[in-house]
């Protein structure tokens, strides 16, 4: 396993990449002030694995080699593994207060592992063996892998092959004896610049006419044909000001970007699906279920930080004993633990798949994510309520450092604690609920792993209303009761 320092160095050792931010090419992404906080957050997935007290959560025994591996490269072997995944994600959310980016690759790993096995069972292909070799290297090198699913989609009333521009979905443009050539883009790629490899999956269930779009493959993140465009965040230029306090979270941040495949060659060894459209829906659903489970851990850890910040600012401002403050904090805890309960429940109810790894309960995972689209927003509202109006009107770091007005800022913004402590806590709440960290806490809560409607579609499909109607018919006497023979 890599250490955190080795991970950061491994990013430096990647080949030159075409990365664009604010219209300019970034030559050194690792040390760029807008990007480095996300590197720090991802590095924590390696650092915590070094601590003996976190070994049980952060590491696992490889199902392929029997060696100890980071849990972020692990094939789930039991419901206990699924539960530990959620607990690990909550821990990392608590430690970083933001998105730590490595979950998408883990969820893609387990989804692609199971689906390639079933494709091979039906068609006699060799996708699973190829993927197995890829996973062995993934484990050995302890990669961070970007799981890439979401396409631009263009006119969403049309399927991939019906688009005016065929590149609005990633697709195969050439099949060669030694591999395929692909073109297109993937959107909203969490931690893409902090990854060693990119694992591409189809974005939706495909029809036979969309066979060129039914493709799953892996490419190195430093493939020279790739183009990256970094996504900006609210208040992100504060990181360029040399300020410390105004950014809210001093060390950690998230990252999203677009990755463009510009006639990228993929050798057959790294192709894991190519034209088998009937398996695309299965792959999307399994990946989504894993990733919706993930939100019952990571966003709960972030929620723990926000609850702590709200409780602290109430104390700092002298209102912690007010009954309405206690009630609001209790509600925040209730909402947060409800999310965690869903994450644990869908994990504990996980079942073994044909490929040997375990899948979460799909219905409960979607219920988990549906709650995540709502509860963090209410928690953010309550935190802002507790924080008060200064959350949006506080003077800048430069004003506090000013020879002319710094003393006045410290004088008039002091409360039950010095102004310095008060403003730091307010900046953290601001960042999490309306600033750069709100991308990882709120926007991801709404749209990560699919928008709210996608979860409702799955919930409707798995609800089994016919079975529930049968329960009602039995109890009111329309149907016979098998538990009471003769009645």
Residue 340: inside a domain, yes or no?
yes
Catalytic annotation, pick one of 46, 98, 103, 290 = 103
Residue 159 confidence (pLDDT): 96
Active site residue 140: no
Active site residue 103: yes
Of 212, 206, 198, the residue nearest 261 (C-alpha): 198
What does the block give as tokens for 323? 């009954």
Catalytic annotation, pick one of 45, 276, 291, 358 = 291
> What is the pairing mode between strands 179-186 and 257-267?
antiparallel
CA distance 7 to 30: 11
Residue 134: inside a domain, yes or no?
no
Q: Please spell the DSSP secondary structure of 81-121, one letter per residue.
A: HHHHHHHHHHHHHHHHSS--S-HHHHHHHHHHHHHHHHHHH
pTM higher than the cut 0.85: yes
Residue 311: inside a domain, yes or no?
yes
Catalytic annotation, pick one of 190, 203, 280, 373 = 190
Active site residue 256: yes
Hey, is 148 helix, strand or coil? Answer: strand
- 10-residue mean pLDDT profile of the chain (487 residues): values are 98 98 97 97 98 98 98 98 98 98 98 98 98 98 98 97 98 98 98 98 97 98 98 94 91 97 98 98 98 98 98 98 98 98 98 98 98 98 98 96 98 98 98 94 94 95 97 95 84
CA distance 166 to 464: 37
Residue 99 confidence (pLDDT): 97
Active site residue 32: no
CA distance 389 to 347: 40
Catalytic annotation, pick one of 46, 59, 116, 256 = 256
**Residues 45-60 pLDDT 10s:** 999 999 999 999 999 9
Domain of residue 416, CATH code: 1.20.140.10
- First-residue to last-residue Cα distance in the chain: 64
CA distance 462 to 459: 5
Active site residue 291: yes
Of 107, 106, 2, 99, the residue nearest 41 (C-alpha): 99
Residue 238: inside a domain, yes or no?
no
Residue 418: inside a domain, yes or no?
yes
Domain count, the chain: 1
Residue 487 confidence (pLDDT): 67
Catalytic annotation, pick one of 42, 274, 298, 342 = 298
Of 117, 262, 149, the residue nearest 213 (C-alpha): 149
Catalytic annotation, pick one of 42, 99, 216, 409 = 99
Q: Work out the number of other CB atoms within 10 angstroms of the CB of residue 268.
A: 16
Residue 403: inside a domain, yes or no?
yes
Catalytic annotation, pick one of 295, 316, 340, 441 = 295
Q: Please spell the DSSP secondary structure of 349-411, one letter per residue.
A: T-EE-TTSSEE--HHHHHHHHHHHTTHHHHHHHHHHHHH-GGGGTPPPHHHHH-TTTHHHHHH
Active site residue 342: no
C-alpha torsion 214→220→223→228, nearest 10 = 80
Active site residue 295: yes
Q: Note whether 236 and 161 are within 8 A (CB).
A: no
**β-sheet bridge partners, residue 199:** 147, 218
What does the block give as tokens for 236? 């992100």
Active site residue 137: no
Close Cβ partners of 137 (under 8 Å, ≥ 6 residues apart)? 143
Residue 126: inside a domain, yes or no?
no
Domain holding 406, by residue range, is 283-463
> What is the pairing mode between strands 271-274 and 257-267?
unpaired
Residue 415: inside a domain, yes or no?
yes
**Residues 235-263 pLDDT 10s:** 999 999 988 899 999 999 999 999 999 99
Q: Note whether 378 and 334 are within 8 A (CB).
A: no
Of 218, 214, 213, the residue nearest 280 (C-alpha): 214
Catalytic annotation, pick one of 196, 441, 444, 454 = 444
């Amino acid at each position: 396993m890599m250490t955190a320092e080795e991970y950061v160095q491994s990013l430096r050792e990647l080949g030159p990449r075409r990365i664009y931010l604010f219209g300019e090419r970034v030559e050194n992404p690792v040390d760029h002030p807008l990007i480095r906080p996300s590197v720090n957050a991802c590095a924590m997935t390696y650092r915590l694995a070094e601590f003996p007290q976190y070994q049980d959560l952060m590491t696992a025994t490889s199902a392929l080699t029997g060696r100890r591996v980071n849990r972020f490269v692990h094939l789930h072997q039991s419901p206990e593994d699924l539960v530990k995944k959620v607990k690990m994600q909550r821990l990392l959310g608590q430690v970083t207060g933001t998105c730590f980016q490595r979950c998408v690759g883990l969820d893609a790993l387990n989804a692609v592992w199971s689906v390639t096995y079933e494709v091979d069972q039906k068609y006699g292909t060799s996708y699973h063996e190829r993927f197995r070799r890829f996973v062995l290297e993934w484990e050995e090198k302890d990669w961070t892998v970007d799981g890439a699913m979401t396409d631009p989609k263009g006119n969403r009333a049309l399927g991939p092959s019906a688009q005016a521009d065929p590149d609005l979905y990633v697709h195969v443009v050439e099949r060669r004896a030694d591999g395929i050539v692909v073109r297109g883009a993937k959107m909203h790629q969490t931690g893409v610049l902090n990854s060693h490899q990119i694992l591409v999956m189809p974005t939706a269930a495909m029809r036979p006419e969309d066979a060129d779009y039914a493709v799953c493959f892996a490419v190195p993140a430093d493939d020279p044909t790739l183009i990256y465009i970094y996504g900006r965040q609210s208040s992100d230029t504060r990181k360029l000001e040399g300020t410390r306090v105004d950014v809210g979270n001093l060390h950690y941040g998230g990252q999203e970007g677009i990755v463009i495949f510009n006639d990228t060659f993929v050798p057959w060894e790294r192709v894991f699906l190519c034209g088998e459209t009937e398996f695309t829906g299965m792959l999307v659903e399994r990946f989504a279920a894993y990733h919706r489970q993930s939100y019952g851990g990571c966003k709960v850890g972030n929620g723990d930080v926000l609850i702590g910040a709200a409780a602290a600012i109430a104390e700092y401002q002298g209102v912690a004993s007010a009954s309405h403050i206690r009630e609001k904090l209790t509600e925040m805890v209730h909402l947060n633990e409800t999310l965690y309960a869903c994450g644990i429940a869908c994990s504990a109810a996980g079942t073994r798949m044909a490929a040997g790894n375990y899948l979460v309960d799909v219905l409960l995972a979607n219920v988990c994510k549906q709650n995540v689209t709502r509860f963090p927003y209410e928690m953010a509202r309550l935190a802002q309520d507790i924080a008060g109006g200064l959350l949006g009107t506080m003077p800048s770091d430069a004003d506090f450092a000013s020879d002319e007005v710094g003393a006045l800022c410290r004088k008039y913004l002091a409360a039950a604690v010095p102004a310095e402590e008060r403003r730091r806590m307010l900046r953290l709440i601001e960042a999490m609920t309306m600033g750069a960290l709100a991308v990882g806490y709120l926007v991801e809560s709404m749209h990560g792993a699919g928008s709210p409607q996608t979860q409702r579609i799955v919930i409707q499909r798995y609800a089994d209303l016919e079975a529930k109607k049968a329960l009602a018919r039995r109890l009111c006497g329309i149907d016979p009761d098998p538990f009471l023979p003769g009645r």
